Structure 1
Amino acid sequence: MGFMNSNIVLISLPAIFRGIGINPFNSFQYLLWILFGYSIVSAVLVVNLGRISDIFGRVRMYNLGFLIFTIASILLYLTPGKGDVAALQLVIYRVIQAIGGAFLMANSAAILSEAFPPRQRGFALGLNGVIGIFGGVAGIIIGGILASIYWRDVFLVNVPIGILGTIWSMKSLKQLSKPDRNQRIDLPGNVIFALSLILILIGITYGILPYGNQVTGWSNPYVISSIVAGLALLGGFLFIETKVPDPMFRLELFKIRAFSMASFSIILAQLALGGLQLMLVLLLQAIWLPLHGYSYAVTPFWAGIYLLPLLAGFGVMGSIAGKLSDRYGARTLSTIGLVILGIGLLFLTTLSYNFNYVEFATIIFLMGVGNGLFVSPNNAALMNAAPPKHRGSASGIRAMFTNVGSTLSIGVFFTIVIEVLYLLLPSTFSSALTSLGASQLAPYMEKIPPTAAIFAAFLGYNPVSAIISQLPANVAGSIPPSVINVVTSNTWFPSVIAPSFMQALRIAFLSAAILSFAAAITSALRGKMVVYEERMTEVKEQKRTN
């Protein structure tokens, strides 16, 4: 349900924005919050909820997550407003949905780790990931179909799944270990950690948006203050956690080398890959699909279809790699997977904007295979290394690193792309329009914020048509109809921006490849396989022998 919902929203955003009457040129901050709000709230809550689940019971918290997620889906379906009011309502309801999702994410790996013996956890977690991928594929297809019928239906599809999931989990899931009710909730730690992450992630989100005459907001005093204050609070949080008797963030887990290296590998890998799918979606929607005859209105759906090899690669390898890790450990498999990812990112830097799809599909399929090789064994290694009573915390830490790394990655990718486009697009537009004999249009085209142009294409709008519709009457009347037809065609805008866009993407892909190789080095340093139950058995045997 979680994976499906994520892709349904991604594919259906054009229909949602048209349904509530939002102009993407003036309101792309809502797009950011509908996309990022879910990730930010999940990142903030998963560690807290994982810790609370260790105290009150993981199954109970997991069931509550299903219920909250379902209620939020109903609210999203019923969104009563229009325009900005409706956009704010969608953001709020997505935040509520993220709370339910955080309950699920914080506990799923812990429940599976508790239910399966140590030498079967890799297979169980891998199969869980594969099922999530099936949900993602279903989300692309179902989202495309439902968005073409009625935008509200994209949220309604979660409701029967959520109701069945709630009933099924309440009837079938049993708490296998007794919750430790003697532990206290670390209230100061929870509050300070939440505030620190909120400030950091909000600062990153607004850093992508324009500020004054600047194309991004990284010089915005509020952005700088938000990030600095968040980092300061995070430092204070880590200090507090060393002083309280029952800390929320179990820092002692990081003394276990297998756990700490697995965690650091996750955040480095997510920094490399968290923004990848969104960048590939933009490449397809803004450039490749229009150049191959697809109208902007249908590009969101077809972008999802053309990215299926990425999900298929993960689906093929996820459960296989998990099963192999049960026998051979995670170090070799996860490290090889990250190397494959890095090589795939390097191959992406060699593509032209009008690439051969078979070549593109092969590269992203291999990257999916590499991701499957990394994720399942790495998650199993992380959960195996944690003591059973702290597996809720361990699962929350894993999910938090995943969400934070992904959000940071999107911020980094977007910043690279927007800054490069800001430098290159004005002269590119000027030259292209002058050659058409429409130089009077150049000052207006040059003023298009790269953020607005990218988000308009992402939402299935032709950015040039939107600009033409807003021109002063005297300027619009001076442009020959033949020129209007050329510049508003499906191919003119992508052809003009493609060289600059690909230059920006190559920088982003190269940076991601470096991060992926850094994650591979970190993974290789994790040491031998550690299974907590087996280690405790060895300790007991040593004591008995002594």
Structure 2
Amino acid sequence: MALFSSQPGDEGLPGFERGLAMAAVMTMAAMVVFDGSMINIALPQIARSLNASVGATVWVANGYLLSAAMTLAIFAALSSRLGFRSVFIFGLSVFTLASVGCALSTSLDMLIAMRVLQGIGGAATLSIGPAILRSVFPNRLLGRVLGLNALLIGTSTAIAPILGGTILSTLSWQWLFAINIPLGIIAMLLALRVVPHNPALKREPFDYAGAVLSAVALGALVMAADAFTHQGNSDLITALIYGGIAIFTGMAFVWVQRRATKPLLPLNIFASSRFSLAALTSLASFVSQGITFIALPFLFQSVYGYSALVSALLFTPWPIGIILAAPHAGRLADRYSAAIISTIGLSIFAVGLALLAMLPEHAQAWDICLRSLLCGIGFGCFQSPNNREMLSNASRENSGYASGVLAIMRTFGQCLGAAFVGVLMSIYAQSSAIHISLWLAVIATVLAIVLSVSRLRGYKLAAG
């Protein structure tokens, strides 16, 4: 296979060891996707099993997201001081052991605590996963391997609801966490075998002030997004308070980073306009995806009257589209302009979203599936080339930071998308709010296209 063949001058690991390292990173990525997608559908059963209220049980999902968001930037910074190998193995160990704790939980408080630990472990691995792939693969294959990574995530996203529903129909919710244990052991053995040590680690003081400010800012942003998804004046006030905290601490974080001798996140990583524009493009696209993933279940179930199972199946064409497009887009990005390919993907994505927004009042399932498939193909064409653009426009010593920025853009794009839907749901009737949300997703994608096209001007200037 060309992906694992070596050529003179290749960076990274030899071919066979590349494959093992890729398997370790992708196994962990699959675990995180499965964990997030399957747990949400198990919340009602968890509430009944632990005699907890639905509102309190939601923190099984929110606790994970909050702890992951608060630590993404910290682990990205630690990777340059401790090494990719140490941080990845730490995260993998914490995630796997916390999965054992989740499976053995006998109370809601214990389960939430274990989910918080899971989030910390997940953040440690997700923040540097793409950076590890860059460190073990040569630049000529970077787009291809990122395409395969997107393919795996798309496949896992498609399978997760079906697998989760199957497990819950025959076994208890604890088994949703237990399946992480063998996968975690396999990933651990592979990581210990092949994930390399960083050749030259930075023995530098840690930016504790930056770490605290980043954790508070990112955590407050998640809390604000969560509050926006609920209705009521008190929730709106809470969201505004958290939003204010996020803005204040975010500004303080930037101020500290500009003056710190060894900052948590070197702001010079954004000196490359291509990196910055790729990051902003990623943020806008994930805002769009976040809006759509929240709005569509309401459309399918509340407006069209489909069951929860049918609604899950109607989502399946989206990840299938990613599966079909992402590997080819990644290979093309290794040969041609990643910015051009990702812009084409965004354009297809925008068309698919517009078609979803224009669904008739009594839409047929096949019609919904075709429109969702187009969205998935467009997003699959966009994601891996754009990720390649981000990673390749950061120096190898900053690849851990770049990987962390990528994870932050994805996490907070989806959070902001959910917040927008929550605001619209509190203002308009449900049917109107859903359709306005879908058109807002189109607008966010158009913004992403504008940002992506701006990179093409950068290419022309560089060529000139």
For the criterion TM > 0.5, the same-fold answer is: yes
The aligned counterpart of 1:370 is 378
Residue 274, structure 1, aligned to residue 282, structure 2:
no
Select which of 387, 390, 394 maps to 1:386: 394
- Verify: 1:196 aligned to 2:217, yes or no: yes
Q: Distance in 2 between matches of 1:34 and 1:353?
A: 35
TM normalised by structure 1 equals 0.75
Alpha-carbon shift at residue 41 of structure 1 (Å): 2.3
**Distance in 2 of aligned mates of 1:380 and 1:247:** 25
Q: How much has 1:287 moved relative to structure 2?
A: 4.3
**Is the CA contact (8 Å cut-off) linking 2:95 and 2:117 kept in structure 1?**
yes
Q: Deviations over 1:490-510 (max 9, x none)?
A: xxxxxxxxxxx3321110011
The correspondence for 1:139, drawn from 134, 154, 160, is 160
Amino acid at match of 1:385: N
Q: In 1, are the aligned partners of 2:228 and 2:420 still within 8 Å (CA)?
A: no
Give, in whole Å, the separation in 2 of the partners of 1:6 and 1:100: 13
How far did 1:285 drift?
Answer: 3.5
Structure 2: tracts of 5 or more residues without a match: 1-30
* Cross-structure match for 2:95: 69
Counterparts of 1:78-477 in structure 2, within 5 Å, are 78-81=104-107, 86=108, 88-149=109-170, 150-175=172-197, 177-211=198-232, 214=233, 217-218=235-236, 220=237, 222-288=238-304, 291=305, 294=307, 299=308, 301-421=309-429
**How far 1:303 moved relative to its partner?**
2.5
Q: Deviations over 1:346-376 (max 9, x none)?
A: 1112113531111110111110011111110
**Paired AA for residue 351 in structure 2:** I
SS in structure 1 at match of 2:331: helix
The one of 76, 80, 85 aligned to 1:54: 80
Encode CA deviations 1:432-463: one digit per residue, 9 max, x unaligned.
xxxxxxxxxxxxxxxxxxxxxxxxxxxxxxxx
Q: 1:491-510 counterparts in 2 under 5 A?
A: 501-510=430-439
Asked if 1 retains the 8 angstrom alpha-carbon contact of 2:73 and 2:214, the reply is: no
Instruction: Assess, with a 3 A threshold, how the Cα gap between structure 1 residues 262 and 419 changes in structure 2: closer, same or farther.
Output: same
2:68 aligned partner, one-letter code: S
Find the residue that maps to 1:355 and give its secondary structure. coil
* Cα 1:278–1:91 shift into 2, 3 Å: farther
Alignment of 1:7-18 (within 5 A): 7-18=37-48
Distance 1:329 1:248 in 2: 31
Compared with structure 1, are the counterparts of its residues 529 and 98 closer, same or farther at alpha carbon in structure 2 (3 Å cutoff)?
A: farther
Equivalent-residue separation in structure 1 for 2:52 and 2:300 (angstroms): 23
Q: 515, 524, 531: which is aligned to 2:444?
A: 515
CA distance in 2, matches of 1:287, 1:226: 32
Q: How many residues align?
A: 430
Amino acid in structure 2 at the alignment position of 1:523:
S
Query: 2:207 is aligned with what amino acid?
Result: D
CA distance in 2, matches of 1:179, 1:399: 24
Residue 329 of structure 2 contacts residue 385 of structure 2 at CA under 8 Å; is this kept in 1? yes
- The answer as to whether partners of 1:342 and 1:516 remain within 8 angstroms in 2 is yes
In the alignment, the residues of structure 2 paired with residue 363 and residue 392 of structure 1 have an alpha-carbon distance, to the nearest angstrom, of 36
Q: Equivalents in 2 of 1:344, 1:137: separation in Å? A: 18
Q: Could you tell me which amino acid in structure 1 is paired with residue 295 of structure 2?
A: M
Report if aligned partners of 2:46, 2:57 keep a CA contact under 8 Å in 1. no
Deviations 1:106-125 (A, max 9, x none): 11100111111112101011
Q: Aligned in 2, Cα 1:281/1:179: closer, same or farther, shift over 3 Å?
A: farther
1:281 Cα offset (Å): 2.5
Displacement of 1:511:
0.8
Percent of pairs with identical residues: 25
Provide closer, same or farther for how the CA distance between residues 191 and 307 of structure 1 changes in structure 2, counting only shifts above 3 A: same
Letter in 2 for 1:506: H
1:134 deviates by 2.1
Distance 1:30 1:15, change over 3 A: closer
Q: Is the 8 A contact 1:69 1:101 kept in 2?
A: yes
Q: Is the 8 A contact 2:277 2:454 kept in 1?
A: yes
Displacement of 1:231: 0.7
- Partners of 1:56 and 1:179 within 8 A in 2: no
Question: CA shift at 1:529, angstroms?
Answer: 8.4
Cα shift at 1:169: 1.3
Higher Cα radius of gyration: 1
Q: Distance in 1 between matches of 2:151 and 2:186?
A: 20
Contact 1:59 1:107 in 2 (8 A): no
Q: Pairwise CA RMSD of aligned residues?
A: 2.1
Q: Say if 1:510 and 1:151 are closer, same or farther in 2 by CA, change over 3 A.
A: same
